[in-house]
Amino acid sequence: MKKIILVPIDFSKCSQNALSFAKNLANTLGFSLNVVHVYTGNLNPNESLTLRPGKTRQESLEERLEEFVNTIPENDKNNSVLTQTKIKTEAVLALSVSYKILKLTKDPKIAMVVMGTSGAGNIINKMLGSISSAVAQRAHCPVVLIPDGLKYKDFQNVLYASNYESADEELIQQVIDFGNVFRATMHFVHVDDKDNYETVEDTIFYKLFEKGDPAFSFNIVNIKNKPVIEGLTQYADENNVDLIVLVNRQRSYLDNLFQLSLTKKMALDTKFPLMVFHLMQQRE
């Protein structure tokens, strides 16, 4: 059973925040963490601070990684004591940071990746061209992107951005199972476009009531006359959404969504964690 959260870090404040979030999420789910730092043959000027006398670069980074992990307290979830989360750390040399992380996501024990996104403002703009962007679009498991400075809290309202591509029974069941852990209210939000809304709605209803009445509350909403990003953002703001779930069934769909955010200069506010699911044969 998949019970490991992969957390790539680069020793930045942003990745420290993502690690804190991942620790709390792992505690809630009963998962363990694999915290990994991937480095290349080129020495980053900032990395020279981590080199230790008499130790190799690999040894120095592994020590720094252990210290970094230990800076994150185990009692940062609503000021309550957490169960000790099992954490594995590893520094890995690779030609490409993003390619190595993607390769790690092929491990069948990895349930998801949790990564930080840096900077204030447009979370998707900040992702584009970055390692987070590459991993979010091509990973072999769900990816949760954590805006810098966002603190963990259990998800009470989860927005599932539904369209024709995301009307997949298997994926909807995964999202329902995930929401069930938190007893979250599920918001299935369809922004009106060329898709057949009735088909999407029927598929969602079928999965929700397949095994009887669902154990959580839900809303199925069709938003008309708004661009996709604007519609999702406005709904999330108005309904205190804690997590937005996007589907990348065909890679071009998520690519187009990112591009739409750029051309319209819209944003998903940095207070929203973003969870990306993939439904397609995985690329090598």
| The model's pTM | 0.80
**What are residue 38's DSSP bridge partners?**
92
Inter-residue contact 14 to 116 (CB < 8 Å): yes
* The pLDDT of residue 1: 59
> Which is the CATH superfamily of the domain at 4-147?
HUPs (3.40.50.620)
Q: Where in the chain is the domain with CATH 3.40.50.620?
A: 4-147, 157-278
Inter-residue contact 119 to 256 (CB < 8 Å): no
Q: From first to last of its 284 residues, what are the pLDDT tens digits of the chain?
A: 579 999 999 888 888 899 999 999 999 889 999 999 998 876 665 555 566 676 787 888 888 899 889 887 655 554 444 557 889 999 998 888 889 999 999 999 999 999 987 644 444 444 444 777 778 778 889 989 888 888 898 899 999 887 645 556 677 777 777 777 888 898 988 876 555 556 666 677 766 777 667 667 888 888 887 777 778 888 999 999 999 888 765 455 455 555 443 323 333 445 688 888 876 544 33
CB-based burial label for 128 (10 Å; 0-12, 13-18, 19+): middle
**What are residue 207's DSSP bridge partners?**
none
Domain 157-278 part of CATH 3.40.50.620: yes
CB-based burial label for 9 (10 Å; 0-12, 13-18, 19+): buried
Bridge-based pairing state of the strands 274-278 and 143-147: antiparallel
* The pLDDT of residue 89: 93
* The pLDDT of residue 232: 83
* The pLDDT of residue 24: 92
SS3 labels along the chain: CCCEEEEECCCCHHHHHHHHHHHHHHHHHCCEEEEEEEECCCCCHHHHHHCCCCCCHHHHHHHHHHHHHHCCCCCCECCECCCCCCEEEEEEECCCHHHHHHHHCCCCCEEEEEEEECCCCCHHHHHCCCHHHHHHHHCCCCEEEEECCCCCCCCCEEEEECCHHHCCHHHHHHHHHHHHHHCCEEEEEEECCCCCHHHHHHHHHHHHCCCCCCCCCEEEEEECCCCHHHHHHHHHHHCCCCEEEEEECCHHHHHHHHHHHHHCCCCCCCCCCEEEEECCCCCC
| Cα–Cα nearest to 19, from 150, 176, 140 | 150
* The pLDDT of residue 234: 86
* The pLDDT of residue 240: 92
* The pLDDT of residue 125: 46
Inter-residue contact 228 to 159 (CB < 8 Å): no
* The pLDDT of residue 233: 83
For 113, the token pair is 């990746």
